[in-house]
Amino acid sequence: MAWTESAGKYHHSGSRQPEGLSIVDQLGKIGYKPEDIEIVVFTHLHWDHIYYMDRFTKAVFYAHETEYQFALNPIPLYYKSYEHPKLYENAEEKIVRPFEGIPIKTIRGETEIVKGVRVFETPGHSPGHQSVEVDTKDGSYICCGDSIFILDNIRPVPEIAYDLTPPGRYADIVSTWKSIELQKKRAARPDLILPCHEKNLLERIKETPLLVFCIIQTR
């Protein structure tokens, strides 16, 4: 996400990026600089998932085709989510979308990015949301972005026969629901699902800062 000053000014007041938690700082903790990164895959293009793109000078960026088109031309309800320039036309200071002028490769459907890393479509939170599945020695993790907002969303609500707990924020609830069901089925264990807004991940990342990527030859 953006640094606190920008986040607080252009998004919900009180949005903040705690010290040391920017993507650049987090990479530094595991010994990488943004310019070391060759591939960046976006789950979606909301402002709080795409900041610091200009620091990843050697990276190829991937996003879903539908998401990129919507990010360029969203309905006004989503201008803030994508930091659309129209919202800031009369502002003294012009806000520049993080992807402005940076090429993004668009993809659709289930796509192998490199061997052992796949994306698959999980729309609903945003029109072209996709999740990233990474094979590791502990199993295949699903980096589900905001398609599953927090882990509570995968819990059923038996008294009303819900097979999950729907999130409060979505562009389309039917696709959101189906995307959560799909990922619940696809993940071998619930702890392999990594939602971006799950606070417990901040604790887990202290013990496991890096998913050890491994190519499973038998796949």
Q: Name the residue number minimizing CB distance to Zn ion.
A: 46
- For Zn ion, which is the closer residue by CB, 40 or 138? 40
Nearest CA-CA partner of 60 in 113, 24, 17: 113
Smallest gap, in angstroms, from Cβ of residue 3 to Zn ion? 18
- d(CA 146, CA 131) in angstroms, rounded, equals 9
Smallest gap, in angstroms, from Cβ of residue 111 to Zn ion? 20
- For Zn ion, which is the closer residue by CB, 67 or 146? 146
- d(CA 20, CA 143) in angstroms, rounded, equals 21
- d(CA 213, CA 29) in angstroms, rounded, equals 18
- For Zn ion, which is the closer residue by CB, 133 or 146? 146
Nearest CA-CA partner of 44 in 60, 65, 22, 58: 65
Nearest CA-CA partner of 176 in 204, 197, 153, 210: 153
Smallest gap, in angstroms, from Cβ of residue 145 to Zn ion? 7
Nearest CA-CA partner of 49 in 40, 58, 60, 59: 40
Smallest gap, in angstroms, from Cβ of residue 115 to Zn ion? 28
Q: What residue ranges bind Zn ion (CB under 5 A)? A: 46, 146
- For Zn ion, which is the closer residue by CB, 46 or 184? 46
